[in-house]
Chains A and B, each alone.
Chain A
Amino acid sequence: MISQKSNRRNFLSETGKLAGGGWLALNTPMLLAAGHAAEAHRASEKGWANMTAQEAAAFAAVADQIIPPDDTPGASDAGVVYFIDNVLGGFMTGAGGMLRQGLADLDAASIEAVPGSSGFAALTFEQQTGLLQAIETTSFFNTMIFLTHCGMFSMPSWGGNRDRVGWHMLGFDNRHAWQPPFGYYDALADAGENS
């Protein structure tokens, strides 16, 4: 399969616009402190700093659509909402309004699609998937994809990736030292079978 790359780059560019300026302006020691505070905050289970409980439930439902739970944990199990709560108080502050509006729109669409429901988080998994398919190209959903992946696979100190479940999912182990052979093909070459 040979193909040209375009969609993913546009997506990264789109999400980068929201966050770029904030990142550049950040002060490193403050950021580090915020990171460790986020991990401690998650552990303390004291609730949310930058969102309501209802918003947190909706963020969790959207994040689980992006990386769903199956035989391994999904995004909400990994604590991605804690990551989002953390960065909404940091470099993603500027996107907070857009994200909250996106959740409100999603809740409104949910109630319209399923009369009598209380919002997106209350729908079935399949119903949620259908609603998100309709908004796949929006800034809201692209930003949610971006944040879900950042939260799931970044250092646990940022609030997500609880117990390193994101890294376990990928097969990544954050060690500081490895020894060869590193993988299948270099081991094969060392055995003289790679000519």
Chain B
Amino acid sequence: MVFDTRKEVDFVIIGSGASGGILAKELSTAGFDVVVLEQGPYRTAADFSHDEMKVMMQREMTSHPGWSDPQTFRHAASEKATVKSSGPPPALYARGVGGSSVHFTANYWRLHPVDFKERSLLGEISGTGFTDWPINYEELEPYYSKVDWEIGVSGAPGPFDPPRSRPYPVPPLPLKSSGALLEKGAKKLGLHPQAAPMAILSQPYNNRPSCMHCGFCMGFGCEANAKSSTLATMIPLAEATGRCEIRPLSTVFRIETNAAGRVTEVAYLDAQGAQQAQKAKAVIVAANGGETPRLLLMSESSKFPNGLANSSGLVGKYLMANAHSRINAFFDEQLNEYKSVQVTRIVHDFYDNDPARGFYGGGGIDARPFIQGSPMMFALDGLPPDAPRWGKAHKDLLRHNYTRRLSLLGSCTSLALESNNITLDPELKDAAGRPAMRITYSDHADDLAMAGFLQDRSVEIMEAAGANTIWREPVSKTDVLAHLLGTCRMGNDPTTSVVDPFHRSHDVPNLFVCDGSSLVTSGRGQPTMTIQALAFRAAEHITKFARGGEI
């Protein structure tokens, strides 16, 4: 299906990732004409490879194809934001049809009931924007189950899980040695390890094959379509309706509004760099928690001088990344973590806040090879810091330990802070002439304390499991944000939130925002499941509004 840009389609969706892919499928199957504008290329499973140079070094997935799209970063507003000279971009996400659901690890934790109302339960946390959601777990639960069944999630109920209305559609993925060791160590300490819920198929399901355990998963695209990206699941269904056009290599630079304050069209650069504009009755921004506020801020006008949908002044604010910790360990026998998915077991004993810890927070621990599962990345960064870096002793360590290494990752809460935000860089522009995304971010002290707590527990678990060598990665303020949450938060009050509980912007009746930016709190570290439950729920409400003439 190809739509004329001058024809007013029912919906333009900006972004084809975790949420955009679902919205495209739901709205097109509901009978609406939909154009999806995606800045990245349209790769398919045949384009994915095990090439570490291309994917990990060249950053094929996360860099902008064809031009430089620099981001600037600083820890505080008092600093000048600069472009990092090396390493991953500060707002780390995949560009391409399917978005970051193509390259993600696919941990699919639901939020718990407590995540939606923790502010009421615990009280105010001074200096933060910690607040309750306008919806609760019970309201979102049917859509979590919808994600399980429509996207395809492998798993089994665990002792700390929230209530679920349906079982998992397919059982957990087979245990890996990292999972076995996490389980062994955790049980010795009286903890309750459980099978990891993963959006990767353990059995054939919905006309897709099961995982072949090739091992090139985190950071890579799935060559088998077993990883449940929206590229593999939702996009084909959307296109099959004949009412949805996926338009790749389309870089949106502005959402246009009319004198009545309604959205009329979306201006973008096409694959050749030519300026285009797609007319639409309504627009849904699903560009991720970094690019969504950037675009809204870029779309300022005399009617919306602070940026579109920004009467609250909160567009871009309350950025949350989830804090993390990592330890690494060697064992005597071979784990062979280069095989299969990243995560097969998790520990959720520390999910809830515990006042006895002395700080706010909660999180989970998982075991995985991390990016050092593949051979080149291991050789570059897989040994402890005191290991020789070259020579015979170095070679001996490499060849003995490649198959004997794992990491334990702690993932936890991020408190919402107004000082953590996405703004437009006042000086730097990208190759398209758009102001660069400027990220200002410092983890709250409680977030780092929680990450440190999880790291201490991780060390204990690996000691109990019999590791012969354990080393820690320092827990410190992050400058790489793989989760981009909270920057257009949902709420009932137009003065304290950007979108209403149905993802309609408070200021513009035919503008919706639905992605990681909608989250009010960060959860405990794995947000995609919630982003997608929100997308299914939003699609249902937007369909009702459109059919009822309420857009």
Q: Which residues of chain B are near A66, meaning CB under 8 Å?
A: 390-391, 394
Q: Interface readout for B183-194 with A: 1 if CB under 8 Å, 0 if not?
A: 110010000000
Beta-carbon nearest neighbor of B470 in chain A = A2
CB of A98 within 8 Å of the partner chain: no
Which residues of B, 179-221, contact A by the 8 Å Cβ criterion?
179-181, 183-184, 187, 212-215
Which residues of B, 141-179, contact A by the 8 Å Cβ criterion?
174-177, 179
Contact flag A154-B175 (CB < 8 Å), given A2-B459, A65-B390, A194-B180: no
CB of A115 within 8 Å of the partner chain: no
Q: Which residues of chain A are near B375, meaning CB under 8 Å?
A: 153, 166-167, 170, 172
CB of A114 within 8 Å of the partner chain: no
Is there contact, CB below 8 Å, between A183 and B176? yes
Known: A91-B58, A157-B51, A183-B336. 9 other contacts (CB 8 A): A8-B383, A24-B59, A25-B68, A70-B395, A153-B376, A170-B402, A180-B175, A183-B177, A186-B176
User: 28 A-B contacts, Cβ less than 8 Å apart?
Assistant: A2-B459, A4-B474, A6-B474, A19-B57, A23-B59, A23-B63, A28-B54, A65-B390, A70-B395, A72-B399, A153-B52, A155-B50, A171-B402, A176-B223, A178-B212, A179-B213, A180-B176, A183-B177, A183-B333, A183-B334, A183-B336, A183-B337, A184-B177, A185-B331, A186-B179, A190-B175, A194-B183, A195-B187
CB of A124 within 8 Å of the partner chain: no
Measured CB to CB, the closest approach of chain A to B523, in angstroms, equals: 28
Is there contact, CB below 8 Å, between A28 and B378? no
CB of A7 within 8 Å of the partner chain: yes
Q: Which residues of chain A are near B64, meaning CB under 8 Å?
A: 24
Which residues of B, 58-78, contact A by the 8 Å Cβ criterion?
58-60, 63-66, 68
Q: Which residues of chain A are near B65, meaning CB under 8 Å?
A: 28
- Bound: A146/B389 CA distance, A: 10
Measured CB to CB, the closest approach of chain B to A149, in angstroms, equals: 4
Is there contact, CB below 8 Å, between A182 and B384? no
Beta-carbon nearest neighbor of A148 in chain B = B390
Q: Which residues of chain A are near B177, meaning CB under 8 Å?
A: 182-186
Is there contact, CB below 8 Å, between A178 and B392? no
Is there contact, CB below 8 Å, between A180 and B469? no
**Contact residues of B: prevailing secondary structure:** loop
Is there contact, CB below 8 Å, between B184 and A150? no
Q: Which residues of chain B are near A172, meaning CB under 8 Å?
A: 338, 375, 402-403
Q: Which residues of chain A are near B445, meaning CB under 8 Å?
A: none
Is there contact, CB below 8 Å, between B175 and A189? yes
Q: Which residues of chain A are near B340, meaning CB under 8 Å?
A: 178, 180, 182
CB of A26 within 8 Å of the partner chain: yes
Interface centre among A8, A15, A150, A186 (most CB of B within 10 A): A186
Is there contact, CB below 8 Å, between B383 and A23? no
Contact flag A65-B474 (CB < 8 Å), given A186-B179, A194-B184: no
Measured CB to CB, the closest approach of chain A to B476, in angstroms, equals: 11
Is there contact, CB below 8 Å, between B385 and A20? no
Q: Which residues in A have some Cβ–Cβ distance to B below 8 Å?
A: 1-9, 11-13, 15-17, 19-20, 23-28, 31-32, 35, 65-68, 70, 72, 91, 129, 132, 136, 145-146, 148-150, 152-155, 157-158, 166-167, 169-172, 174-180, 182-186, 188-190, 194-195
CB of B335 within 8 Å of the partner chain: yes
Measured CB to CB, the closest approach of chain B to A115, in angstroms, equals: 26
Is there contact, CB below 8 Å, between A170 and B378? yes
Is there contact, CB below 8 Å, between B392 and A154? no
CB of B86 within 8 Å of the partner chain: yes
Is there contact, CB below 8 Å, between B213 and A178? yes
The tally of residues in B whose CB lies under 8 Å from a CB in A reads 68
Q: Interface readout for B377-398 with A: 1 if CB under 8 Å, 0 if not?
A: 0111101111001111011001
- Bound: A154/B469 CA distance, A: 26
Interface centre among B64, B187, B381 (most CB of A within 10 A): B381
Q: Which residues of chain A are near B399, meaning CB under 8 Å?
A: 72, 169-171
Measured CB to CB, the closest approach of chain A to B246, in angstroms, equals: 19
Inter-chain residue pair count (beta carbon < 8 A): 206
Which residues of B, 303-346, contact A by the 8 Å Cβ criterion?
331, 333-340
Measured CB to CB, the closest approach of chain A to B31, in angstroms, equals: 37
Is there contact, CB below 8 Å, between B331 and A11? no
Contact flag A24-B53 (CB < 8 Å), given A184-B177, A186-B175: no
Is there contact, CB below 8 Å, between A3 and B176? no
CB of B541 within 8 Å of the partner chain: no
Q: Which 4 A-B pairs have the closest CB atoms?
A: A16-B86, A183-B177, A184-B333, A185-B177
Which residues of B, 479-530, contact A by the 8 Å Cβ criterion?
none
Is there contact, CB below 8 Å, between A169 and B53? no
CB of B124 within 8 Å of the partner chain: no
Is there contact, CB below 8 Å, between B180 and A155? no
Is there contact, CB below 8 Å, between B376 and A1? no
Is there contact, CB below 8 Å, between A150 and B53? yes
Beta-carbon nearest neighbor of A182 in chain B = B339
- Bound: A68/B336 CA distance, A: 24
CB of B302 within 8 Å of the partner chain: no
Q: Which residues of chain B are near A16, meaning CB under 8 Å?
A: 85-87
Beta-carbon nearest neighbor of B340 in chain A = A182
- Bound: A24/B59 CA distance, A: 7
Q: Which residues of chain A are near B66, meaning CB under 8 Å?
A: 27
Q: Which residues of chain B are near A175, meaning CB under 8 Å?
A: 214
- Bound: A183/B402 CA distance, A: 12
- Bound: A72/B400 CA distance, A: 13
Return the contact of A5 from the options B86, B214, B385 (Cβ within 8 A).
B385
- Bound: A20/B56 CA distance, A: 12
Contact flag A65-B391 (CB < 8 Å), given A5-B471, A171-B403, A178-B215: yes
Q: Which residues of chain A are near B57, meaning CB under 8 Å?
A: 19, 23, 150
- Bound: A6/B340 CA distance, A: 30
CB of B472 within 8 Å of the partner chain: yes
Return the contact of A176 from the options B212, B394, B402 (Cβ within 8 A).
B212
Q: Which residues of chain B are near A136, meaning CB under 8 Å?
A: 389
Measured CB to CB, the closest approach of chain A to B208, in angstroms, equals: 15
- Bound: A31/B65 CA distance, A: 12
Q: Interface readout for B26-66 with A: 1 if CB under 8 Å, 0 if not?
A: 00000000000000000000000011111001111001111
